[in-house]
Amino acid sequence: MSEESTIGSSRFLSLFGACLLGLATIASAWSGYQAAVWSGNSQVSFIKASNTLNEGNARFLLGVQMMMADGNMYLQASSQYLLGKGLEEPARLALAKGIESTMQKDFKKFVTWAKVQYKKTGKPHNPFDNPEYLLMRLGGAEAMRNKSNAIFKKGQEEGAFGDSYVLTVVFFSIVLFFAGMASVMRQRMLQITFLGAGTVTFLYTLIRLVTLPIA
């Protein structure tokens, strides 16, 4: 091989190594940026999920308290009604009606439902047996918990994307190592070996990179 050919080959390898080094540096910086953004998005999602779950728990506790209040009012009204009817005491019947009038408006419709069912079937019905009652009192809490789970799952996916970008940073760092080693090698075969390894790693990592979503 002539001297001119050797010099030309050496210049080509140096130029190729410099281009590989520059591309890997840019791609590594982009991957690091995306990893940071995805990680931040994941943390935000986890915070939202936690806040939503706390709100759901608060609604659940409120719903339970409302159920206890409904049960207490219904028990008092039923007791006074049965005593007033059994002992023929109009005052107790009036008290039962008075208690019913102080019940929550959304609960009264279930009390009415129980009375209607009793008239239709002749069997006592409890307003709490209506499935819509639990939905009314605890449905909001369940919806918030489901929403929290969905946001948490989103945060996990965002965290996984961030981890994938971190892995590409690692691979691009390997490319930088190969390109850097090729630049200091004096033997042409070693230069080609390191540049070849760096090129293969770069192309593999680049394929992984383009398949990842952008934040």
Number of domains in the chain: 1
The amino acid that residue 25 corresponds to is T
Query: Domain for residue 47, yes or no?
Result: yes
Query: Domain for residue 215, yes or no?
Result: no
Query: Domain for residue 16, yes or no?
Result: yes
3-state secondary structure string, 122-154?
CCCCCHHHCHHHHHHHHHHHHHHHHHHHHHHHH
The amino acid that residue 72 corresponds to is N
Distance, CA of 114 to CA of 120 (rounded, Å): 10
Instruction: Quote the domain boundaries for residue 131.
Output: 3-210
Distance, CA of 213 to CA of 54 (rounded, Å): 31
Q: What is the pLDDT along the chain (215 residues), one digit of tens a residue?
A: 455 555 556 788 888 989 999 999 999 999 999 999 999 999 999 999 999 999 999 999 999 999 999 999 999 988 888 888 888 788 888 888 898 888 988 999 999 898 888 888 888 888 998 989 999 999 999 999 999 999 999 999 999 999 999 999 999 999 999 999 988 887 888 989 999 999 999 999 999 999 999 98
Beta carbons within 10 angstroms of residue 148's beta carbon: 20
Query: Domain for residue 87, yes or no?
Result: yes
Distance, CA of 133 to CA of 32 (rounded, Å): 52
- Find the length of the chain: 215
Query: Domain for residue 69, yes or no?
Result: yes
Query: Domain for residue 203, yes or no?
Result: yes
Distance, CA of 164 to CA of 39 (rounded, Å): 11
